[in-house]
Amino acid sequence: MDVGDQLCEAAKNGDAGKVKALIESGADVSHFDGEGLTPLMHAAKHGHADVVKKLLEAGAPWNALSPSNLSAGDFAMDAGHQEAFDILLNAGIQAELVLGTIARKDNKIGDCNGDYLEDRVSFSEDKLMDAESKAVMMAWEKPLMEAHAKAVCSGGGHILNIGFGMGLVDTAIQQYAPASHTIVEAHPEVYERMIRTGWAEKDNVKIIFGRWQDVLPQLELYDGIFFDTYGEYYEDLREFHQYLPALLKPEGIYSFFNGLCGGNPFFHVVYCQLVSLELENLGYSTQLIPLPVKNCLGEEVWEGVKHKYWQLDTYYLPVCQSIQDSE
């Protein structure tokens, strides 16, 4: 048996001594065996927390994926191995925190949705697609958008929404008759459709055309804010969060579309925790409200859509409030 396979076997058996010896003799901790599993996945699957820890310390990648797209954390989660799961979760959060810091330091983050904003989009009854047949927005999200609107409008007053898309959240926001309802939208065709469908004529609506990054000086202070853009990354969401203290009233409510790593259950947990932690550092508490979505998401929903951006059974709707105010 080759050394990598031996390491997988030892990890599977929870043989911490052998794992240690093999690592010291130079065995590859990121080895994939014949099943396509790494030593870390084997240890996680069988709940050998001490081995999980050892492998992570030796540099085993926490986010490697099996042929069925499962990570070590997914294996621990599915088998109910809490200790191994907690170690992996912590490793994932720490790794992403460090990676983010390095990327920001190296200035590797720039305008990422430039292409999308310049390309054509197409509207149909149940979706808005980009030029590559990727869904910008889909009608199955309507109940989620209604729940987001309810959360951000719960204190009434002045509401800000970033990203119009199909106008689902904005339609729901209108039902709460806010004192003012500001919508920021950057795509020229989406904006043109907003105008054509009468959004600019609504008494309490103010439309600001442009990327949120570019129109920040036109924004004011709001009682409720919702954020849901497209073609951007976690770093953009994170950047938006840095402006929250300047945009959200102390007693205001903030929410965002929580599609973070919507294709993998464990990565989603890592990113839910990461975003909550980063918001906490900015002075906001985050409540994640579970909403079942399995029933509104049959396979037929994705017909003709290139990227299935959501594959989980539960959506966790974030409700964020200033920690001082919520105490």
Ligand X SMILES: C[S@@+](CC[C@H](N)C(=O)[O-])C[C@H]1O[C@@H](n2cnc3c(N)ncnc32)[C@H](O)[C@@H]1O
Interface contacts to ligand X, rule CB under 6 A = 113, 136-137, 145, 162-169, 184-187, 190, 211-213, 228-232
CB of 161 to ligand X, least distance (A): 7
Tokens 């191995």 found at: 81
- Cβ proximity of 155 and 177 under 8 Å: no
* Closest CB to ligand X among residues 21, 216: 216
Nearer to ligand X, 120 or 294 (CB): 120
Give, in order, the Cα–Cα distances in Å from 113 to each of 21, 102, 109, 229, 244. 48, 21, 11, 10, 21
The residue among 219 and 221 lying less far from ligand X, judged by its C-beta, is 219
Assess contact for 256 and 236: CB atoms under 8 A: no
Residue 7 or 128: the one with the smaller Cβ distance to ligand X is 128
Shortest Cβ 121–ligand X spacing (Å): 7
Q: Which residue is nearest to ligand X (CB)?
A: 165
- In the complex, minimum distance from the CB of residue 236 to ligand X, in angstroms, rounded to a whole number: 7
Distance CA(220)–CA(247), nearest Å, equals 6
CA 2 to chain centroid, in Å, comes to: 39
Least distance from ligand X to the Cβ atom of residue 162, Å = 5
Q: How far is the CB of 73 from ligand X (least distance, A)?
A: 27
Side-chain half-sphere exposure of 66, counting CA atoms within 13 A:
20
CB of 126 to ligand X, least distance (A): 12
Give the Cα separation of 166 and 314 in Å (integer): 22
φ, ψ at 295 (rounded to 5°): -65, -25
CA distance 13 to 17: 11
Contacts 24+ apart (CB under 8 A), 46-49: 46/12, 46/13, 46/14, 46/79, 46/81, 47/76, 47/79, 47/81, 47/83, 47/84, 48/11, 48/14, 48/16, 48/84, 49/81, 49/83, 49/84, 49/87
Please identify, using beta-carbon distances, which residue of 283 and 309 lies nearer to ligand X. 309
Q: Which is nearer to ligand X, 11 or 320 (CB)?
A: 320
Q: Which is nearer to ligand X, 48 or 193 (CB)?
A: 193
Q: Using DSSP, state whether 80 is helix, strand or coil.
A: coil
The answer to whether 111 and 288 are in contact (CB under 8 A) is: no
Q: Least separation, in Å, of the C-beta of 254 and ligand X?
A: 14
